[in-house]
Structure 1
């Protein structure tokens, strides 16, 4: 694994990493059968530049307006103001300050110069402010009749703790004259977090798959799916088209005093910035991969998350989790784990081979995907911490095509192993079988909530007399089957399922529809 890298290559790599802060963070939504995600670099932005009013570099001006998309000044006591959108060299700041001598608030806003349309995945990494103000990442059609809110957060303020723990993910369809507004009001549109959302940076994303289907993701986890006319546009405001229009991307804050409490000067004086680390947009395109087999190699040091229960800092280690030493990981204690985002090009069974070293007997590594345990491999003693060898797991791992998160967890012994890399190999041609994530679901008239679920899940929109429901895990194993009848919201128990991602497939007549289900 040792490589000689020239200065030119190092500089090129540094430029690439600056351009894509999200590199290594997989798109959590499934691109579809035979598809892969392609970054829209002309729209996406890492905000790694300095800018302010009167000093906006080309990197900003090529992509953004520091204004709303028309001449409206904002809701309630909002006055959108371009000076309140600035960047510090690493992050975008959307700030709120008092308009001198008034009860109005200057609020920052930016609007992307390139409109987007389904199928598209858009995501932001951001930390909301500790204010009663709304902090939002959203889409709006040019005629203001269709809207998708990937996130709308209210960080805090006196008496606002209910909102501080709930992130709003929703959409609107409007008729402008006479004004009418439809927005889902179910509890699933408010995503609860035990810690206030303002406390940390989070990733907020939405997959606008088609006019009748939206998937909302937070920190890479599916938290809500809405699908079908019954929840997208039950009143027919779009005349049967659904969310079909090109939309502008908007990042802003708002003083929504038309339905929210006002704030004092003292409240507004601090913690008044909505910080945005990056924003990215992807489109699904035809996969460039073939079907003659696939081999994927993950260098052990290229993990995106690590942790553990033992602090080894006193022994020279990193503390909790593993240590990176050049091109390997070491200081792996019992229970330490590492996580890797990976894109699987073809559905099927993959063999797993570890390249590792250990002078300890009976060490092991647990292999899991999306929180679902697959199997444990006991590793042979290689005779030394520097004596690396390959060992192939006795079981195969079955994957659907698309993006997944792999976790490797060390066994229970105090000292475990060093790892160089691991490899997933799929021999032969792609399996000709059923892709659970890509069943027919173009206009599924269904929604499921809550997401994630722990005890039970409600299936809404069952308008036919009889349905058959199957629940599969991501390996394609059938976990549950049930016959259900017409219902406004039929309840299915899921408390017997292990934590992880599942596929809920609903059959009626000659049609089958699939929705993703997350169990925690």
Structure 2
């Protein structure tokens, strides 16, 4: 297979080589999970979990996605569906995955992509790119497909594998065509005039940011259900996932590679790991060096950071502009963490510092500085911790899931993370079920002994038997902040003050004892030391 690198027009911008310890979970800075057992629109028979029983590293450089025959939450099998949503998404590029597939009637492994923001409408209007799908009953035939249109339409082709071992599945996705490869062999090309979207002009819908999914489904409409010949467990082994972009849209020759900054830290603007549309020049700002210039609306720069502790940070931008049209959005994946206006500083080299407050999750990640409006220069970015910072991980669920939180429920899980009317950011937590339910969503954290305050923003349908924020396991009696049983139509902040921690740890959560169809929305949890 030909090398894919800068020599033939592609530059590696994201990858996972799955090099962790045996039995460990995939890198949470790169992968999240879709969880549930709803059939996923295809009458599938598995319940997707985030357990290392279903998705783990084997210690030899592989990700294992394992489907197990076991009853769980009313489904007959468990498996895993990993997603890069909010952790990595792209518009155009080459996505390459080396994998070994399962076999057996009813098995349905897939390597595919979905839109992150569904800007043109619900499925299939916003599109779907299937890099590889396989029917377990015909394990040497794989398919590549795109889904689009309203009504639904799909087009694709298939490829015959020479054996059941590891193979490299790739898509090269550009504005005017999409190409499918197996082991470097081109087997399908689809042109822009073959697809469409009722939600937008050509080349819609495949001109927006998409993220990667890896999963093993069991049963359903694609290959039918397993029969007596299908053995379990079944596994898909993934050697690596790599994403490339055309060199012309990434960093210019000689630009710094962008080392990972451990926050809090000051980052020179030219220290990006990837960019689009900008250039560098010598700066007249104090300290000398270079600044990034020629920033227009839609340009961006990516910076690799390691966040040792989740919570609130202050981000400062050193900017210069002869006008007042500039705007900076700090983004993580598709989520906008903060928006900051760039003022008229009086010239291209007259420098001022502007700032915003952001919530960051822990771990290694890539943050994007996106120009919502152009006409400014940028010299540096500085991340610092406020004196009182949020001690909770993922407090606003901006990972798109419940990473960092645990749950308890009495029957079926009533919690989900969604985008419907968050307090701020892109996501919130919702409790709802069609029947009566009891649900806890909570987080335990180790903290120094001292005085603390906990809070959460809440909306509610009303009608619950009990709905409250609580604090316990801190060395004293359980404390609570009641929401009450009346409807809360606008977000209201519920607070527990003066929590005297003496045990070195605390549990903060919400308790919901609800009747059928009662709902509650929670966002922007906070635990701060006073």
TM interval, short-chain normalised: 0.3 to 0.5
More helix by share: 1
Scaled by the length of structure 2, what TM-score is found? Answer: 0.40
